[in-house]
Structure 1
Amino acid sequence: MVGIDSVNAEFDGLSDAEEDILLGVTVGYDYETQSGLIFGIEGEYTDSSLGVTERDVFDAGDRVSINAGRDFYVGARAGVRTGPNGLLYVKAGYTDASIEAEYDDGTGEIADEVSFGGFRIGAGGEIDLSSNYAIRIEYRYSDYGNLEALGFDSGIALSRNQGIVTLLGKF
């Protein structure tokens, strides 16, 4: 799976989004009814190259880096065949993402990773290339609510928009 990852942060009426490349893998199982309806379960692991680094934040010569980390997803999808090789579907499920943060003041580095959960919804289409391969194009939105750190609500609302293309191996 490859795509565009856009992470949006909102705080006190201000909003900022950063975009970069997303890579990952997905596994799942689909059940198809006689009428062409599809019901499936799926899981994903993705990682993003999205990150920002700022210098001279607190002191001259320091560096702060914040990177979008891994993202796990588990959910369900339902769709309908649009001919012998096509499928349109919607999906929903739980997503758990992480943010990796580093601070270097020139004398030492402090690093931490924070995980947070939310929900994902999406829609897409799939075209069978053969009996063993298909290609999927999908849009999905994930909402993680407000980021909590050390048990406190930071007031920073995080969400994600992604557009992906996946080459599927079927068996």
Structure 2
Amino acid sequence: MKKLILAALATALLPASALAQDAGAIGGAFVGGQIGWGKRSVDLDFGLPGVEDFDKSRSGIDYGIFAGYDYGVGQNFLVGVEAGIGLGGKTLRDTPIAGLTAEIDPKWNYDVSARAGFLATPNLLVYGRVGYGAERTRVSTVSTIAGVDSTSEKGWSDGLLYGAGLEYGLNESASIRTEYRHRDMDGGYAADQVLAGLAFRF
């Protein structure tokens, strides 16, 4: 990402009846959808005289789908794995030097993570998440400088994903959740999200 610009920039359903039993009974596959607030930010220090840092952030709506598997451990604990695909994010744009505008345009993202949590009440799970997240972006430079071409290239920015949330069992087959998560990716690029989701177990 930085090189291009310089050249031209496991969730659970937690059914109420099951939660009142041994946590080991809360297992199995699930699918769901989520939507919420997302912010993309970039902080690139080019380290060149007369070239300003690319330091921008923008917020918007993020949404996506997820699927995974959970397994109860003992009476009050749960572990699981989850994978998701998402969309969202607005174009980040800056002008490091006069006549050269750099843009980072988010396209779509995916993540794979593990989750572990405990039952604060028979229906409420408190959990943390850690894993891997990646986002597809288009990085472009628009030049009006003589001898410097405009460029455009798609690529990936990836790195550590972590977060925490709450999930509440509505009934035997559905739950709702709210979660904060952060993706700290390469190229000085990062994403923060606050998402609300609905999950179904089968």
Same fold (TM over 0.5): yes
- Inter-CA distance 112–94: structure 2 relative to 1 (3 Å threshold): same
Q: Is the 8 A contact 1:98 1:113 kept in 2?
A: yes
- Write the distance in 2 (CA, Å) between the matches of 1:9 and 1:49: 12
Instruction: Work out whether 1:48 is the aligned partner of 2:88.
Output: yes
Which of 96, 120, 123 is equivalent to 2:164?
123
Q: Is the 8 A contact 2:166 2:179 kept in 1?
A: yes
Residue 13 of structure 2 is matched in structure 1 by none
Structure 1 runs of 4+ aligned residues shifted over 6 Å read none
What count of residue pairs does the alignment treat as equivalent?
A: 154
Instruction: Work out whether 1:142 is the aligned partner of 2:142.
Output: no
Instruction: Work out whether 1:167 is the aligned partner of 2:198.
Output: yes
Superposition TM-score, scaled by structure 1 size? 0.79
Residue 8 of structure 1 is matched in structure 2 by 41
**Structure possessing the higher radius of gyration over alpha carbons:** 2
- Write the distance in 1 (CA, Å) between the matches of 2:142 and 2:192: 30
Residue 114 of structure 1 is matched in structure 2 by 155
Q: Is the 8 A contact 1:5 1:50 kept in 2?
A: no
- Write the distance in 2 (CA, Å) between the matches of 1:133 and 1:77: 18
- Amino acid corresponding to residue 39 of structure 2 in structure 1: S
CA drift of 1:70 comes to 1.1
Identity of aligned residues (%): 24
Identify the structure with bigger relative contact order (alpha carbons < 8 Å, sequence gap 6+): 2
Instruction: Give CA deviations for 1:100-154 in whole Å, capped at 9, x if unaligned.
Output: 246789xxx9753111220101000000111111111000111113x2xxxxxxx
Q: Could you say what the CA RMSD is over the residues aligned between the two structures, in angstroms?
A: 2.5
Q: Flag structure 1 segments of 5+ consecutive residues without an equivalent.
A: 148-156
Q: Is the 8 A contact 2:182 2:190 kept in 1?
A: yes
Which of 21, 45, 66 is equivalent to 1:26?
66
Q: Flag structure 2 segments of 5+ consecutive residues without an equivalent.
A: 1-33, 46-52, 144-149
- Write the distance in 1 (CA, Å) between the matches of 2:128 and 2:172: 22
- Write the distance in 2 (CA, Å) between the matches of 1:83 and 1:21: 31
Superposition TM-score, scaled by structure 2 size? 0.67
Residue 28 of structure 2 is matched in structure 1 by none
